Amino acid sequence: MNTKNNDKFFMQQAIGLALKAKGNTSPNPVVGAVIVKNGKVVSSGYHRRCGGDHAEVIALKKANGEDIKGATLYVTLEPCNHWGNTPPCVDSVIESGISEVVIAIKDPNPLTNGRSINKLRSAKLKVRVGVLAEAAAAINEAFIKHVKFGMPFVVAKCAQTLDGKIAAASGHSKWITSSKTRDYTHKLRDEFDAILVGSNTVLKDDPGLNGSKKSKKIKKIVLDSGLKISKNASLFKGVDLNDCIIATTKRASPDKLKQFVSNGVDVIVCPDVKGRVDMKWLFKELAKRKILSILIEGGAKVIGSALKADLVDKMQIIIAPKIIGDDKALSSIVGMNVLNVNKAIELEKVNIKKINKEIMVEGYVLRNCRRNRSS
């Protein structure tokens, strides 16, 4: 195996390790590290949670007396160069006797960006950057977007019939998809900092918005411009109410607002756009609160508004092999007001996979398409 293939092989292992902690490290990135000597892995590690040891340090500690002088460290993200909850990793790497570091991507954080690479080279270590860079960036897209733009990474998900409906004209919607596919949704929630729905979804479906892991704290966010939902909604049951956020406007009843606040619910009174919560302002506020990733689960107006406001990064559309065939039935996305097909939102890097009987179409919202819509 040549050097290039070696690099990809061991970096892929590091990426696989990093993914073990997906959803558990926010606001930190997920990072994996592998130490290799004479073509063999002598140690490895990954960052498990915010505040815990970083991947490189864990791998060094796990080496447990192994002779790693002259070894190569493969790491998915540039080692940190600053004090935070833990000391700078770059110093530990230099002191370890490792002679070469292979890095997938630079850390976008200005406190580190390129500085650790320079420090490693100044200490006479060989450094290579860019191995499996695209794959390494993909596992940290929320962290990267937050650092670069001060906004959360947003995925909008909906489940619909073959003809694009999420409910019958009567409002009946349980269930469009199978139980196995709904289990997938519960597990998907574990990967996000927050789940967001509109007030109509709460009023009609009364979802719990829980993930599959009881140990994982997920923020539950409801867009409710007029503060219509009940304090007895299922999403408030069995959870820390501080993890429940209602985004409302000045239209909200002061008495009802006080009631939610006194119960411990986090209520954010947002500026409004035509009487509705200004989602762009809200998402900036959520990013300030270290909410790096949001899964929007509906309803149709909320997803449409988020797309129209240029807030959605990725779409997940689960299509069930069912047909409702009624023009009065509820569509999965509304409010876009597209009058020209050439102005429609397009997806790129599209991935299609089967989940039980259903099909999931996943893709990133095309940036050029966004610009065309606003022109």
CATH code for the domain in which residue 167 is found? 3.40.430.10
- Range scoring the smallest mean pLDDT among 191-195, 212-216, 232-236, 366-370: 366-370
Per-residue model confidence (pLDDT) at position 65: 66
* Residues 17, 69 within the same domain: yes
Q: Is the pLDDT of residue 134 over 80?
A: yes
Residue 95 annotated as catalytic: no
233 and 355 belong to one structural domain: yes
When the pLDDT of each residue in the chain is averaged and rounded to a whole number, the result is 92
| pLDDT at 67 > cutoff 90 | no
What was the pLDDT predicted at 334? 93
Task: Let me know whether 190 and 282 are in one domain.
Answer: yes
Does residue 78 have a pLDDT over 80?
yes
Residues 271 and 208 placed together within one structural domain of the fold? yes
Q: Out of 56, 78, 191, 297, which one is annotated catalytic?
A: 56
Per-residue 3-state assignment (H helix, E strand, C coil) for the chain:
CCHHHHHHHHHHHHHHHHHCCCCCCCCCCCCEEEEEECCEEEEEEECCCCCCCCHHHHHHHHCCCCCCCCCEEEEEECCCCCCCCCCCHHHHHHHHCCCEEEEEECCCCCCCCCHHHHHHHHCCCEEEECCCHHHHHHCCHHHHHHHHHCCCEEEEEEEECCCCEEECCCCCCCCCCCHHHHHHHHHHHCCCCEEEEEHHHHHHHCCCCCCCCCCCCCEEEEECCCCCCCCCCHHHCCCCHHHEEEEECCCCCHHHHHHHHHCCCEEEECCEECCEECHHHHHHHHHHCCCCEEEECCCHHHHHHHHHCCCCCEEEEEECCCCCCCCCCEECCCCCCCCCHHHCCCEEEEEEEEECCEEEEEEEECHHHHHHHHC
Residue 175: pLDDT over 80: yes
**The predicted structure's pLDDT at residue 26:** 95
- Residue finishing a domain among 119, 139, 159: 139
Query: Could you tell me which residue, 87 or 296, shows the higher pLDDT?
Result: 296
pLDDT in the model for residue 64? 73
Q: Give the pLDDT band of residue 1 (cuts 50, 70, 90).
A: low
pLDDT number for residue 2: 61
Task: Point out the domain boundary residue: 139, 157, 176.
Answer: 139
Rg for the chain, CA atoms, rounded: 23
Domain check: are 132 and 153 in the same one? no
Looking at the structure, tell me whether residues 193 and 325 fall in a common domain.
Answer: yes
Specify whether 39 is located in the same domain as 62: yes
Mark whether 157 and 97 lie in a shared domain.
no
Residue 156 pLDDT:
98
**How high is the pLDDT of residue 372?**
45
Residues 32, 14 contacting (CB under 8 angstroms) = yes
Are 120 and 156 found together in one domain?
no
Q: Give the pLDDT mean for 263-290.
A: 97
In this structure, the answer to whether residues 99 and 161 fall within a common structural domain is no
Q: Are 130 and 156 in contact (CB under 8 A)?
A: no
What whole-number percentage of the chain has pLDDT above 90? 80
Number of domains present in the structure of the chain: 2
Query: What's the pLDDT score for residue 371?
Result: 43
pLDDT at 66 over 90: no
Flag whether 49 is in a domain: yes
**For residues 63-71, average pLDDT:** 83
Q: For residue 110, name the pLDDT band (cuts at 50, 70, 90).
A: confident
pLDDT of residue 82: 73
Q: How far is CA 27 from CA 64, 76, 193, in A?
A: 29, 17, 9
Q: Give a yes or no: residue 375 inside a domain.
A: no
Which of 71-75, 88-92, 122-126, 265-269 has the weakest average pLDDT? 88-92
In a domain, 283, yes or no: yes
Residue 213: band (very low, low, confident or very high) from pLDDT cuts 50, 70, 90: confident
Domain that holds residue 123: 1-139
We report the CATH number of the domain holding residue 31 as 3.40.140.10
Give the pLDDT band of residue 77 (cuts 50, 70, 90): very high
